[in-house]
Amino acid sequence: MTTSTPEEARTQIVNMVRDFVRRDVEPVADRLDREDIVPHDLIDKMKDLGLFGITVPEEYGGLGLDYTTFASIFEELSKGFMSISGAIGTHHILTYVLTHFGTEEQKRHFLPDLASGKKRGGLALTEPSGGTDVANLQTTADKDGEEYVINGTKMFITNGRYGDSFLLLARTDRTAEPKHSGISAFVVEKGDPGFKVGRDLDKMGYRGLDTCELIFEDFRVPSENLVGEVEGKGFAQVMSGLETGRINIAARAVGVAQAAFNASIRYSQQRQTFGVPISQHQAIQLKLSDMATKIQAARLLTYDAAAKKDQGERADLEANMAKLFASEVCQEVTMEALRIHGGYGYIKESPVERYYRDAPLMIIGEGTNEILRVVIARQLLRRPEYQI
């Protein structure tokens, strides 16, 4: 009996995702975006493909794949409809944190249902007044016997309406200094009246996916749901998970940019002005060459970060760089695609218009690029290996 190599397994799953996107996602993407419909049928097919457990170890029911494959999957999904990747985006931050920081009992209790997609996960991190300033979050978790009582509000929560389980960050020590040392991570599940889903957010892009406000009012969570069963570690746990989140955001940006480029190549070869296809005009050729070059540079940064993660190396700086550069390239490329398409790119029936509205999500998601630039600079100043 022959077994496939890791590279063959990676190629197989990526090809399966590519076929799924072309067959099932692309034909309905415009309608899902226009009508802001959450595609439960497509999400069920993603469950069947194992995409809710891409990097979850096989012993807990996942595929146990590497982060290079993880990035490839997000790129392929985003070429068809970036929103569909959101169903598994922050879900994977929850599974990552449980895999790397949860107790053995927590892994066996939560991971199998999350890996199969029986339960959809999310990240309850951002707050109405906090944004990227995670260390100053206001949600509290007070110990009361064998439970914690949680109060606070979380905003911009992907999977908020239809998700079941969330990785929630809350303050367990109000007096801790530095402030982030008083923050803990919990796995919280729906079912108690103290856990309410607030309003659905009407977004410019990233439509066809539930993004909501979550409200916690004297919500009680068992102490065994404290990740690792140790207080004060939540900030570091989530920051580690966000490394993978930034790799997935970078991969999404590459996918959307590539889709915009592909549309531009096709259109430029079909659209004629002055008796020739516009692809023959030097002004268009210059745009196409710059677009392709920048997309490839963004792709290389993304897969470099993923490779370092696979090798067990520190990858926070590389993930931050990849997310920063790829998202900015995505915004630039989608604008250039609009310019190439002219008036046809500005109307709703063109997918280029959707790509342009989706691009800003990658700039502000998983930490705004303004904050990331500061974080990258601080890392460079602290790490002499980058001072060549």
Q: Is residue 130 pLDDT above 80, yes or no?
A: no
Report strand pairing: 121-124 vs 165-171: parallel
240 and 365 inside one domain: yes
| Containing structural domain, residue 363 | 236-386
94 and 173 inside one domain: no
User: Tell me, what CATH number does 21's domain have?
Assistant: 1.10.540.10
Q: Is the pTM of this model over 0.85?
A: yes
Give the confidence band of 145 by pLDDT, cuts at 50, 70, 90: very high
Query: pLDDT: is 101 or 383 the higher one?
Result: 101
Give the confidence band of 1 by pLDDT, cuts at 50, 70, 90: very low
Which of 82, 116, 150 is a domain's end point?
116
State the Cα torsion 42-43-49-50 to the nearest 10°.
170
**In this predicted model, what pLDDT tens digit does every residue of 322-378 receive, in sequence order?**
999 999 999 999 999 999 999 999 999 899 999 999 999 999 998 899 999 999 999
- Is 328 a catalytic site residue? no
Total domains present in the chain: 3
1 found inside a domain: no
Q: How far apart are CA 29 and CA 261, in angstroms?
A: 17
215 and 262 inside one domain: no
**In this predicted model, what pLDDT tens digit does every residue of 209-219 receive, in sequence order?**
999 999 999 99
pLDDT of residue 136: 84
pLDDT of residue 245: 95
| Phi and psi angles of residue 214, each rounded to the nearest 5 degrees, phi first | -115, 135
39 and 11 inside one domain: yes
| Close Cβ partners of 99 (under 8 Å, ≥ 6 residues apart) | 55, 56, 57, 60, 107, 111
Task: Reduce the secondary structure of the chain to three states and give it as a string.
Answer: CCCCCHHHHHHHHHHHHHHHHHHHHHHHHHHHHHHCCCCHHHHHHHHHCCHHHCCCCHHHCCCCCCHHHHHHHHHHHHHHHHHHHHHHHHHHHHHHHHHHHCCHHHHHHHHHHHHHCCCCEEEECCCCCCCCCHHHCCCEEEEECCEEEEEEEEEEEECCCCCCEEEEEEECCCCCCCHHHHEEEEEEECCCCCEEEEEECCCCCCCCCCEEEEEEEEEEEEHHHEHHHCCCCHHHHHHHHHHHHHHHHHHHHHHHHHHHHHHHHHHHHHCEECCEEHHHCHHHHHHHHHHHHHHHHHHHHHHHHHHHHHCCCCCHHHHHHHHHHHHHHHHHHHHHHHHHHHHHHCCCCCHHHHHHHHHHHHHHCCCCHHHHHHHHHHHHHHCHHHCC
pLDDT of residue 368: 93
Contact by Cβ (8 Å): 69, 77 = no
pLDDT of residue 213: 96
pLDDT of residue 292: 98
296 and 345 inside one domain: yes
What does the mean pLDDT of the chain come to?
A: 95
User: Tell me, what CATH number does 177's domain have?
Assistant: 2.40.110.10
Q: Which of 75, 76, 127, 366 is catalytic?
A: 366
371 found inside a domain: yes
The predicted model gives 241-265 an average pLDDT of 97
151 and 22 inside one domain: no
Q: Is residue 2 pLDDT above 70, yes or no?
A: no
Give the confidence band of 283 by pLDDT, cuts at 50, 70, 90: very high
**In this predicted model, what pLDDT tens digit does every residue of 93-110 receive, in sequence order?**
999 999 999 999 999 999
67 and 88 inside one domain: yes
Q: Is residue 5 pLDDT above 80, yes or no?
A: no
